[in-house]
């Protein structure tokens, strides 16, 4: 089976062909390569990517604006952000306890989440957005890749309930890729976003999930955690990344937030645009939630040895003089986990190489400061690597939706 990166490589010429077909003004000169940009093309795209990056991640002026309706910004999104969203979606879909099945991609833009779901084995994909040009681009990509994509125009801020989309209640996965933070800005936004997730959950078959992917920015991540707590209060269970029931411990401290990070080798097209736009792209970062609707049980965390404690690593390594430290989040709360290098033993070697997102079992820890310290007797075992399902799925009520 091809890896997500290999699958993505097959999309790059399609993205470029669709982008070139929609670009105004024929270019002269030799035919550009199918998987890279010609210098004049790169210059235009890099300029538009800089604008998108500033508007979506820095001053946030574009969040909720109609940037997908502007051809040059849609084009820049397609060539630079689409591949990242694709990998993020693959990385989060892989944590679901079920195959994607029938997928509804809300706020789809040109469809990276829908196509990622298709490549991950979805049985059907439906993409919805308020931007007609973004949906037309998704259809052009679907035609190029022979994916039977359905598209629908959708705008939840106009007060149109999801049920009016006419899609029915037949989805296994309802996904929101980088759109929740763009909806319902201002006062009351968390409640309205939570209500939208509840409505989306109403479209699921038993055992299905609502998947939310958001930018890895402190503010958008904290807003997502607020929505998380609202839906958990209303009976939702979190399938990933949380390993426990109850409110999110990161919300207690303004400076805390939660995001995942996976190292990637960016496709050459993305790397060259990043270089030209002065941006970095060596890792895929996102905040995310996989939610089970009210009535579905919380999945069981993996069993641990008696006396052992379970954590998800929620920081990068935080080395200091002679000591290794990470932040961990689990049933014990959100705590620092520290080990003196001189106490590293065969059984704790894994501590040297933990990645953000890994789920680990640690033994023989004791309280130290506001965290826990491991000692010479401690053992460290990675129970699930970053991006792998960490919880044991509750039994599925329906099956038979997987594509053969």
Ligand X SMILES: C[S@@+](CC[C@H](N)C(=O)[O-])C[C@H]1O[C@@H](n2cnc3c(N)ncnc32)[C@H](O)[C@@H]1O
Residues found near ligand X in the complex (CB under 6 A) = 64, 68, 81, 85, 107-109, 112-113, 129-131, 134, 154-157, 177-179, 182-183
Q: Taking CA 388 as the corner, what is the angle to CA 263 and CA 316, rounded to the nearest 5 degrees?
A: 40
∠371-372-375 over CA atoms, to 5°?
150
Query: 292-307 in b/e burial notation, b at 16+ Cβ within 10 A?
Result: bbeebebbebeebeee
Residue whose beta carbon is closest to ligand X: 177
| Cβ-based nearer residue to ligand X, 107 or 301 | 107
> Strand runs (DSSP E) across 121-222, as ranges?
124-129, 149-153, 171-177, 204-214
Do 18 and 139 meet the contact criterion of CB atoms below 8 Å apart?
Answer: no
Is 144 exposed, middle or buried, given 0-12, 13-18 or 19+ CB atoms closer than 10 A? middle
Do 290 and 95 meet the contact criterion of CB atoms below 8 Å apart? yes
State the minimum distance, in angstroms, from the CB of residue 85 to ligand X.
3
The DSSP secondary-structure symbol of 347 reads: G
Q: Based on CB atoms, which residue is closest to ligand X, 107 or 328?
A: 107
Q: How far is the CB of 378 from ligand X (least distance, A)?
A: 40
Q: What is the C-alpha separation between 102 and 270, in angstroms, rounded? A: 30
CA pair distance 102, 272, nearest whole angstrom: 35
Question: Of 239, 368, 367, which Cα lies nearest the Cα of 312?
Answer: 239
Type and span of the H or E element at 380: strand 380-384
To ligand X, the closest distance from the beta carbon of 223 in angstroms equals 15
Is the preceding omega at residue 241 within 30 degrees of 0, hence cis? yes
Nearer to ligand X, 53 or 124 (CB): 53
Q: How far is the CB of 222 from ligand X (least distance, A)?
A: 18
Compare residues 16 and 74 and give the one whose CB is closer to ligand X.
74
Q: Which is nearer to ligand X, 141 or 183 (CB)?
A: 183
Minimal distance, residue 294 CB to ligand X, in Å: 25
Structure tokens at 298: 């919380």
Residue 382 belongs to what H/E stretch?
Answer: strand 380-384
In the complex with ligand X, which residue's Cβ is closer, 64 or 394? 64
114 or 360: CB nearest ligand X:
114
Min dist CB 20 to ligand X, Å, is 20
Please report how close the Cβ of residue 158 comes to ligand X at its closest, in angstroms: 8
State the nearest-atom distance from the C-beta of 96 to ligand X, in Å: 17
Q: How far is the CB of 35 from ligand X (least distance, A)?
A: 20
| Closest listed residue to residue 89, CA positions, set 68, 115, 63 | 115
- Closer to ligand X at the Cβ: 101 or 156? 156
Q: Select 183 or 227, whichever has its Cβ closest to ligand X.
A: 183
């Amino acid at each position: 089976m091809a890896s997500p990166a290999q699958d993505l490589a097959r999309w790059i010429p399609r993205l470029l062909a669709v982008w070139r077909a929609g670009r105004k003004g024929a270019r002269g000169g030799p035919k550009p390569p199918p998987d890279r940009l010609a210098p004049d093309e790169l210059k235009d795209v890099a300029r538009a990517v800089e604008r998108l990056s500033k508007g979506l991640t820095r001053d946030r002026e574009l969040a909720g604006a109609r940037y997908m309706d502007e051809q040059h910004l849609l084009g820049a999104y397609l060539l630079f952000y689409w591949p990242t969203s694709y990998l993020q979606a693959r990385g989060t879909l892989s944590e679901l306890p079920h195959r994607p099945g029938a997928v509804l991609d809300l706020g789809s833009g040109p469809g990276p989440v829908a196509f990622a779901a298709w490549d991950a084995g979805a049985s059907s994909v439906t993409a919805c957005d308020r931007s007609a040009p973004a949906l037309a681009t998704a259809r052009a990509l679907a035609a190029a890749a022979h994916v039977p994509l359905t598209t629908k125009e959708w705008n939840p801020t106009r007060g149109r309930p999801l049920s009016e989309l006419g899609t029915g209640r037949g989805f296994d996965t309802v996904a929101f890729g980088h759109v929740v933070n763009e909806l319902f800005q201002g006062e009351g936004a968390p409640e309205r976003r939570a209500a939208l997730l509840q409505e989306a959950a109403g479209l699921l078959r038993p055992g299905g999930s609502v998947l939310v992917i958001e930018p890895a920015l402190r503010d958008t991540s904290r807003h997502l955690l607020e929505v998380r707590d609202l839906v958990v209060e209303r009976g939702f269970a979190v399938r990933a990344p949380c390993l426990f029931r109850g409110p999110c411990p990161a919300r207690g401290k303004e400076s805390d937030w939660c995001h995942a990070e996976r190292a990637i080798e960016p496709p050459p097209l993305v790397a060259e645009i990043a270089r030209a736009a002065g941006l970095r792209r060596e890792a895929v970062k996102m905040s995310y939630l996989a939610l089970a609707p009210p009535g579905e049980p919380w999945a069981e965390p993996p069993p641990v040895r008696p006396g052992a404690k379970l954590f998800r690593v929620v920081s990068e390594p935080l080395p200091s003089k002679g000591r290794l430290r990470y932040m961990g989040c689990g049933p014990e709360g959100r705590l620092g986990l520290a080990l003196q290098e001189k106490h590293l033993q065969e059984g704790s070697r894994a501590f040297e190489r933990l990645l953000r997102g890994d789920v680990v079992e640690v033994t023989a820890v004791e309280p130290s400061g506001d965290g826990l310290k491991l000692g010479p007797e401690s053992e460290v075992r990675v129970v699930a690597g970053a991006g792998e399902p960490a919880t044991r799925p509750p039994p599925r009520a329906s099956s038979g939706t997987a594509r053969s």
